[in-house]
Amino acid sequence: MDTHVSHSSVSNSGMPAIRMLTLASIEPSPTAVQQRRRARYDAAALKELAENIRAVQVIEPIIVRPRAASVGPEGYELIAGERRWRASQQAGLESIPAIVRDLNDGQVLEIQLVENLHREDLHELEEAEGYETLLREHHYNVDELIARIGKSRAYVYTRLKLLSLDKRSREAFYEGKLTAATALLLARIPVTKLQQQALKAITQSWNGEPMPLRIAQRHIQDHYMTHLKEAPFDIKAADLLANVGPCGTCPKRTGNQPELFGDVKGADLCTDPECFAAKRSAWGLKVKAQAKAEGRDVLSGREAKRIAPYGVHSTLQGGFALLDSRCYDNSKGRSYRQLLGKDFKAKTLIEDAESGSMVELIKLSEHSDLLKAEGVRGERGNVSSEGERARRLAVKTETLFRERLFGAIRSKTPPALVGNDLRLVAKALWDMAGHDACLRLVGIWQWAEKGKANEVVYRCDTKIAALSEEQMRRFVIDCALVNEVRASSYDTRKPEKLLMTAKRLKIDIQSLRKTLKGEQLARSSKKVASKDKARVKKTAA
């Protein structure tokens, strides 16, 4: 048997000559590509190939190269065709057809990678790791890689992006918990902590099964991408954070990597919510410093929460209004800024906890004369009026009643939907709920510390998935009724769903109202007595 092949020998046609080499003279390639592939050989498929070879021999030759520093008989390193070589051993053959080529390490890796690309069972992450080796260790650039393997630029970039998966995500991908498409969704999240959160949500929160691709896409876009148009800061600013440039040229902006974000509608989305939050915080500090220098006040944290408990774009407490909000007592529906003059500058700013923006704020009682001169009618221009106080008390009383009614209904939650259907309904109702409703649900279910609801409201999927069936039934009822719990002076409709449900559950509505009224009268009497006592004490002094 001729095992001593001339390395440069070719056939008359100019193609490399095929020689028969002994199986014993050949050793498997030690490259990482082959080691990964070897770990996933299908024993049954290899046995089937051995039976086929026993019957018809090896038709397609393997590729080898001379082994470096061989001792004794000439030896070879197996470059391509390891399954055929192993199957030939199982078939009891002594030799195999081979092409001997002089190849450097880069050429070896390229051949093995190209051969692997034709495997039906090639794992996408294996492929990406092979590309990475060519780029890092053998100094290929992306254009050379694209030309060599015959794939599109988008294909190569999406494969290489899989290398951004953290260790846990890679393990889940290899274990089959992720598809290539869902793995790419995770790989595009640049923060490891957030990537792991998304991994948990995608693999565990969909009825115990991984999320379908479309649901996973929506989940990640809703929770881990931010529209730059919603940024309160100037996205062109290059000095908000050290060593972080403007958003427009950032590689984490979807529009700057179109090959990776072809499924995302919109080029101006930030994929790094932590960087976005840090920029927003830095911008807020600059605004506060500037406002302080101008002699203006900035309300944030607890102060802002006291005035805007449900967000700055909901009903504000304490007789405040946003300068740019519409004045409903003006017949032309103009904003307060328009009424007070385009050059008017509010002395107070309030931070919007949801967006991070700073919004100008005015106290209506301080500008009642100007507003009246501009034709503002009604009592909202004068927050100290008896009518306004009565209206606020009525709203507060109605809200307290609705809360009592809501609690009574919750205590009598009936058995209804069960199993996966119940969970599906619960998740659908949560997804359809407005932001304010979700904040209330987070508070009702105590899913966040006090004042932290805004921070967790977009990360409640796992909380919902963890609910027991009994809790899920109550949650579904909560979602259906929560929008009617809070009364509003601008919406005089009755809480029909609350009242109808209470009636069906035989809850005594009039008794609830009577009890609440008695409690309010008792508190009011106590408050008056306390004031009278303080007045007498002051007079005596």
- Which residue do the tokens 């520093």 mark? 69
Token reading at 503 = 């009636």
Give me the phi and psi of 533, to 5 degrees please.
Answer: -65, -40
Is 519 among the catalytic positions? no
Strands 62-66 and 76-80: antiparallel
Query: How many other CB atoms sit within 10 Å of the CB of residue 449?
Result: 9
Q: Which of 358, 365, 359, 288 is nearest to 320 (CA)?
A: 365
For residue 250, which of 218, 232, 228 has the smallest C-alpha distance? 228
- Calpha distance 275→262 (Å, rounded): 23
Which stretch of DSSP H or E encloses residue 146?
helix 142-149
C-alpha–C-alpha distance, residues 437 and 427, integer Å? 14
Q: What tokens were used for 173? A: 């991908």
Give ∠ CA 524-526-529 in degrees, rounded to 5: 110
Please identify which of the residues 82, 129, 360, 484 carries the catalytic annotation.
82
Q: What is the DSSP letter of 83?
A: H
Task: Give me the amino acid identity at 506.
Answer: K
Interatomic CA distance for residues 201 and 212, integer angstroms:
12
| Surface-to-core class of residue 245, CB atoms within 10 Å of its CB (0-12 exposed, 13-18 middle, 19+ buried) | middle
Using CA atoms, how far residue 415 sits from 410, 468, 473, 474, in Å, is 12, 13, 7, 9
Q: Please give the span between the terminal C-alpha atoms of the chain, in angstroms, as a whole number.
A: 123
Q: Which residues pair with 51 in a beta bridge?
A: none
**Whether 100 contacts 67, CB under 8 Å:** no
Single-letter amino acid code for the residue at 21: L
AA letter at 533: K
CB atoms < 10 A from the CB of 21, how many? 28
CA distance to 241, 430, 481, 483, 501, per residue, from 435 (Å): 30, 10, 15, 11, 24
d(CA 138, CA 104): 10
Burial 333-364 (b: 16+ CB within 10 A, else e): eeebbbbbeeeeebebbbbbbeebbbbbbbbb
Question: What secondary structure letter does DSSP report for 99?
Answer: E
**Can you tell me the distance from the alpha carbon of 536 to that of 525, in angstroms, rounded to the nearest whole number?**
16
As a whole number of angstroms, the distance between CA 62 and CA 84 comes to 8
Give the catalytic positions in this structure.
82
